[in-house]
Structure 1
Amino acid sequence: MMLSAGVLALAIAAAGCTSTTSADSSAAPATGPGAQDTGTYPNLNIAPEVAAAQFTEDQKAAKLAELQAARQRQGAKAGAGGGNSAAMTTLARKHGDDTLKAIEGKCETIDPACN
C-alpha cells in the first residue's frame, strides 16, 4: 500500500514538470486599456484634470444650511414619537420570557397574558 502511494505521488509530481509546446506558451500581444510600455517615464508634474467644477463658498454655505435644516427636521421627528418609556422598559423585560415560552410550547402564541 505504501509502495502504490509512493508511485502515485511520483506520477503526480512528474506530471507537474511537463512542459507545453511553444505554440501554447506564446504570450498574447498587449492590447486594450492595460499597461503598455512606451519607453518613456511618466511626467508626474502635470496637474490632473478636475472631473467637475469646485463648489464656491456661497454654494458651500447653501448646502450646509440645507443639511442643517434636514438634521433639525429629523431631530424633531425622533423626539415626537418617544411614547411611554416605562411601558417600553416593561415590554423589553418581558418580551424575551414570553418569546421563550412560546418557543418551548408553553403558550400558543406570543401573548403578554401568557403564564
Structure 2
Amino acid sequence: MTAGIEKASVTSRKFSLAVAVAVVLTALSGCAGSPSGDVQPSAPYASGGNVVGPRDTGSYPNLNIRPGQAAPQFTDGEAKAKLAALEAEREAARDPGRAARAKNDSAALRKLAASHGKDTLREIEGKCDPTLDPTCK
C-alpha cells in the first residue's frame, strides 16, 4: 500500500516542478522586450498615407453628427411599382406554364403515353429488338 503512495508523491513532485518551470519561463519571456522604452507604432497605426487600421487624430470622435443616408429613399410610387413587379415574378415562378402561355395538351400526352406503354411491353415481352440491340438474335 505504501508503494502506491510513493508513486503518487513522485508524480505530484514532477507536476509541481513542471508548473514552476512554466512560471519561470513565462516571467522571463516578459523581460524580452525592446531595450529602450520608446516603442515605435507599427505600420497600420502610423499617421498619414493610406491607413488601413485605426489612426490617432489627437481628439475624440464627435458622436453627435448624424450619419447621412446610404442611398436615396424610394417614393411611395416607386415602392408600389417594385412590389407589383415582385408579385408578378412570384406568380410566374409558381406556374411557369401559364407564364409562357403554354397550351394544355394533357389529353394528347395521355394518349401518347398509353400507346408507348403498349409498344414498350411488346418489346420487353419479345425479349429482343434488333433495332435497339444489334447483338440480339
In the superposition, the TM-score normalised over structure 2's length comes to: 0.44
Residue 24 of structure 2 is aligned to residue 11 of structure 1: no
Match runs of 1:1-115 below 5 Å: 1-2=10-11, 3-18=13-28, 19-23=31-35, 26=39, 28=41, 30-31=45-46, 32=51, 33-44=53-64, 46-77=65-96
- Whichever of the two has the greater Rg, that structure is 2
Q: Which amino acid aligns with 2:82?
A: K
- Give 1:107's aligned residue: none
Following TM superposition, the consecutive aligned residue runs of length 4 or more in structure 1 with deviations greater than 4 angstroms are none
- Identity fraction in percent: 19
Q: Structure 1 length as normaliser, TM-score?
A: 0.50
Unaligned runs of 5+ in 2: 1-9, 98-137
Alignment length (residue pairs) = 77
Q: Which amino acid is 1:5 matched to? A: F
Gap runs ≥5 in structure 1:
79-115
Alignment-mate amino acid for residue 80 of structure 2:
A
RMSD (Å), alpha carbons:
2.9
